[in-house]
A and B are shown apart, each in its own frame.
Chain A
Amino acid sequence: MKSLRLVVAVAVSLAAAPFALAQETVRIGVVQPMTGPVAYDGNIYVNTVKMLADDINAKGGVLGRKIELVVEDGACNPAQSVNAAEKLVVRDKVVGLLGAFCSTSTAAVMEVAKKHKVPLITGISTAAQLTEQGNPYFFRAVATTPMLGNAFGPVLPKALKAKRFAFLTLNDDWGRSMQASYPKAIESGGGQIVANEFFQQSDLQFLSQITKVKAANPDAIVLAANTQQAVALSKQIRELGVTAPLVGEGAWSSDSYIKLAGPAAEGVYGLVEYVYTIKSPVNDAFVKEFQAKLKENPSKFAGAAHNAIHIMVDAIRRAGAADPEKIREAMERTDYNGLVGNIKFDAKHQAYGQTVYLSLVKNGVPEVVETAQISKAQP
């Protein structure tokens, strides 16, 4: 009868109760954009982490157990990233989280980490406010924009042979943070700021903004953009007859940018936390493996992945147990030497001590022309 039908329907739909499996592996959760506008870079991160996790497992894993990565798509969308993180923590019972790429998504996932008391580490999100919120479960393994600015700002006028600097950045926290923090450092090196312009993430062409910047007659233009916009931006800048050198945070040293931008990429400087032309034993091995398995040169997102997974595993090892709280405490005492030098965390869980690089694209290769070290963040 009809009523029976109803009962059956209800019973079937409520029958989805899952049950937890005993943990044989050490589960680490990864929230990254695998779809959406930054999916390309997100997928590189995920593939890198997978490759490195396999390496670690081949050498015996951690705490005598294998690492199991559970990857969820956050799509750089805060709501989706939150859902992903909830699932990883609650259902998959991960002991640590890597993610979530975009600063806004990371900010949202931070709340989940705090709520469920699981440590979260990011190697990519640079919005300064993330470490200002006193969230004890969040660790940032990358220099913030202001820290990069302090490290390289004074060097730029000499390195670029420029006095008049114009800013043209994405109109979000990253770009705004750059335009707020870089000027002082640049001015301390003898530079002068002549323009501050923004563009939206949804902008497809930048002719108006470029024209406005051009009107200020800059010797160098400082940019903040991701790959997709970086390509159009640098092309359109050259097409409008602006010959000043470009220096930027973001995509400017990655292979995908260089390939897509073509001649417009020549002579572009990048302020990067990692570039594949770094000369060190750790990096040489990494690049070789990356080229063999993933068939391209590692971008800064791959470098970030390298740092994140290794710091996480290092913390698990020192914690002596797959217990999120112990891992968190161990992570605070990190003294890790890896891809980009030594990394420690300060009281706000902000990394410091690592090397950062000024790259210059010469003949399609991003060579390292200057290095600097990130000093502890000023309170």
Chain B
Amino acid sequence: MSRRIATLAVLALLCAVPLVVRDDYYLHLFIVSGIFVVAVLGLDLIVGYVGQLSLAHAAFFAMGAYTSALLFVRLQWSMWLGLPAAALAVGFAAFVLGGVILRTRGHRFIIITVVFAELMKLVATNWVDMTRGFMGLPGLALPKLSLPGLGSLDITAKSHFYYVVLLAAIVAFLLCRALVRSSIGRKFVLVRENEPLAESLGISAFRYAMIAFVAGAALAGAAGSLYAHYVGFVSPDLFNFSYVTIMLIMVILGGKGTLVGPALGAVLFTFLPELLREASHWRMITFATILIVATLFMPKGIVYPLVAYLVPRRWRLSDAHAA
């Protein structure tokens, strides 16, 4: 009962944001955070739940952005079509890639994901006929929302697009929650904690890692599509390693293996770099230090334990903490 109240309260708060926050700049940050929430929830599936460190996630994000952008520019597909298309396309790419690399374990897996990301960057940069290389694809517009009988809504205003992103983030959260609470999710954790035992029980680590990998990539692709249409522009910079690092920071410091952790991490680590604009190098040095220290001493992350401390148990939305 109180859990329902808590959920509604949080939802109400989230919906109220554009009404309370009139400043477009902060709304912009909320929107970007929301997009990253979708992306890092996906990353958490493979990193937190299955326990494989994939550094290809930012590449999936960028690939989703490019897919959606290309469909818009060449076929005039609006974001409503582009987003699911991007999710499917990237999910499929992850399926193919996973088939090749998910049997590898250990460090080799991690490095291959890096190589894959770099290769995708090279393609985006050099396949100029398709992607316009460094010039990128500009002019990506946000679509209108046409509801039959209600006419069409213009969602290009930040305060309106916020709700689209909020919806996406909530949907992503619910999907992930359903997944991790299901028997599939339990098998994720078993594979992570004790792979030989899982195998002996007939649970194929490869199969479950693949599920997480593809689902995560699809989420990243969807997030990429949102990002592309919101920013209005894609370029090969999206493949830079800096996106990988920030996503990892969001997941790890947020609390891998939970859902709320990375989601909050996404918000925190979108706002923090912007608020600390002045201190550019010190900012990154601090983040890196926190990452090292947190990894060494705080494997549950920083944000999630903090939230767990602040929020009384009966108000908590999910106990999907399986770290």
Contacts and interface: CB of A to CB of B under 8 A. Distances in A.
A215 interface: no
A182 B24 CA distance: 44
B303 to A, nearest CB: 12
B28 interface: yes
Contacts of B26: 16
Interface stretch (A107-115, A159-167, A225-233): A107-115
A133 B28 contact: no
Contacts of A196: none
Given A86-B28, A90-B25, A104-B134, A9 B310 contact: yes
A69 to B, nearest CB: 16
A14 to B, nearest CB: 7
A2 B125 contact: no
Contacts of A10: 13
Residue among B26, B28, B132, B310 facing the most chain A CB atoms (10 A cut-off): B310
A131 B83 CA distance: 29
A91 interface: yes
A153 B135 CA distance: 24
Interface string A259-299: 00000000000000000000000000000000000000000
Interface in B14-55: 20-26, 28
Contact of B134 (A9, A18, A172): A172
Q: How big is the B interface, by class?
A: 20 to 34
B311 interface: yes
B138 A107 contact: yes
A108 B233 contact: yes
Interface in B96-155: 125-126, 128, 132-136, 138-139
Interface in A1-20: 1-3, 5-6, 9-10, 14, 16-18
B183 interface: no
Interface stretch (A47-55, A70-78, A187-195, A337-345): A70-78
Q: Which secondary structure characterizes the binding site on chain A?
A: helix
A104 B234 CA distance: 9
Contacts of B238: 79
A176 interface: yes
B23 A18 contact: yes
Nearest to A75: B280
Given A2-B312, A90-B23, A173 B232 contact: no
Given A2-B310, A173-B133, A77 B277 contact: no
Nearest to B118: A202
Q: Tell me whether chain B's interface is mostly helix, strand or loop, or mixed.
A: helix
A82 interface: yes
A48 to B, nearest CB: 21
Contacts of B199: none
A6 B311 contact: yes
Nearest to A18: B23
Contacts of A35: 280-281
B319 interface: no
A91 B125 contact: no
B68 interface: no
Contact of A72 (B21, B277, B310): B277
Contacts of B133: 171-173, 176
B237 interface: yes
Interface in A114-167: 115, 127, 129, 133
A15 to B, nearest CB: 10
A129 B128 CA distance: 14
Given A9-B310, A86-B24, A3 B315 contact: yes
A218 to B, nearest CB: 24
Contacts of B232: 108, 111, 115
A104 B125 contact: no
Contacts of B125: 171-172, 200
Contacts of B23: 17-18, 90-91
Contacts of B25: 86-87, 90-91
Contacts of B126: 171
B81 interface: no
A108 B230 CA distance: 11
B67 interface: no
B21 A108 contact: no
A43 interface: no
Contacts of A1: 312
Nearest to A129: B135
Contact of A107 (B128, B136, B315): B136
A104 B13 contact: no
A107 B139 CA distance: 9
B310 A14 contact: no
Contacts of A217: none
A122 to B, nearest CB: 15
Contacts of A73: 277, 280
A83 interface: yes
Contacts of A111: 138-139, 231-233
B311 A104 contact: no
A103 interface: yes
Contact of B312 (A3, A83, A129, A176): A3
A304 to B, nearest CB: 20
Given A79-B237, A90-B28, 12 more contacts: A10-B13, A34-B280, A78-B136, A86-B24, A91-B25, A103-B135, A104-B135, A107-B235, A110-B138, A111-B139, A133-B139, A171-B126
Interface of B: 13, 20-26, 28, 125-126, 128, 132-136, 138-139, 231-233, 235, 237-238, 240, 274, 277, 280-281, 310-312, 315
